[in-house]
Amino acid sequence: MASSLPLVLIHPPLPGFEGQMSALYSVRHIADMGDDADAITAAVVIGSVGLPADALPRLTGLKLVHCLGAGYDGVDVPAMRARGVTVTNCPAVNAIDVADTAMGLLLSVTRMIAAGDRLVRAGQWVPPLAFPPVRRVSGRKLGIVGFGAIGSAIATRAAGFGLDIRWTGPRPKADAPYPFEPSLLALAEWADILAIAVRADASTEKLIDARVLEALGSEGVVINISRGSVIDEDALIAALKARQLGGAGLDVFEEEPTPPARWADVPNVTLTPHLGGGVREALIEFNRITFDNLRRHFAGEPPATPVP
C-alpha cells in the first residue's frame, strides 16, 4: 500500500537524518524516485552538492530545495527561482564552530601541533628542541578574507590571541571593528596569516591564486574553512613544496574526500576532513530549521529562511 505521507527527496542519502524524518515524510532518493518523481515537491540537499542536473527535468513538481547547512554553493539559485523553486538554508547556525576550527588550524600550523604529534608518534623526538623555534602567534598580522558571520567570529577569537586584524570583502561595513582593506593583494602583502571565510560562488572561484600566495610570502600561512573551490589548490601545493609559502591549514578541498597521495610530501600542512561546522548543537539546529521549512512548505506557508 502506497504511503500517504508527503514525499521528500534527500540528496545525497543521509541515513541518520532520514530516520528522524520517517514519521512525517516518505523519503526518496535520486536512484529510487521512479514514478514518484513528478509528485515530489520538496528536496533536502547538502548545500555544496545540490541536485544532479540530469534529475531536474524529472522533478516537474519541485517547489522547495532546502540546504541542510549554511552553504548553498551547489545550488543554482537563479535557475531555481526561474523554475519557481524556493531555496532555503540554515544560515549562521555554525559560524562560531567553523571559526573555532579556523583557530585550531591556525594554531596547529603556526605552533607545529599536528607536525609535533606525527614526530612524537614516529619516535623522532630529539631534545632539547624538536623543531627550530617558530614565531610567536601574538603580534602576528591576520588578514581575513570575507567578514560575514564566520569571518567576524574568527576575528573575535583571534583578537584574544593578540593578533593584529584587517579584512577584505566585496564592500566595507560600517559596524566592522577592524580596518577594511579593499585590495586582496594588498591584504596578503600585509598579512602573516590569511584566513579564508568567503562564500563560494563563481566570483570567488580560485580567488586565492598564485599571485595572492606570492604576496603572502615564504613565511605566510593560509587557513581555509570556506570551500575548496576558493583556493587554486595546485598553486597552493606548488608554493608549499617550493617553500614559497610557510604553511597551510585546510578543512575543505577541491575534491572531497581529497586523495591522500596529493598531500603525501607537502610540508607544514594540517588537514581536517571538512569537520568545521559538524558539532552536535549545530546539527540539532539544522534539523530544527529543516523540519520547520518542510512543515511550512507543506502547509502552504512562507519559508523561514529563504536564501538572499
Helix, coil or strand: residue 45? strand
Q: How far is CA 243 from the centre of its chain?
A: 26
**Which listed residue (28, 227, 233, 297) is catalytic?**
227
Active site residue 274: yes
* Closest to 178 measured CA to CA, from 194, 161, 158, 197: 158
**Which listed residue (256, 281, 288, 301) is catalytic?**
256
User: All 3 cell numbers of residue 29?
Assistant: 532518493
Enumerate the β-bridge partners of residue 61.
Answer: none
**Which listed residue (11, 28, 274, 297) is catalytic?**
274
Residue listed under C-alpha cell 539546529: 285
Active site residue 29: no
- Give per-residue burial for 22-51: e unless 16+ CB within 10 Å, then b: eeebebbebeebeebbeebbbbbbbbbbbb
Rounded Cα distance between 17 and 142, Å, is: 38
Catalytic residue numbers, as ranges:
227, 256, 274
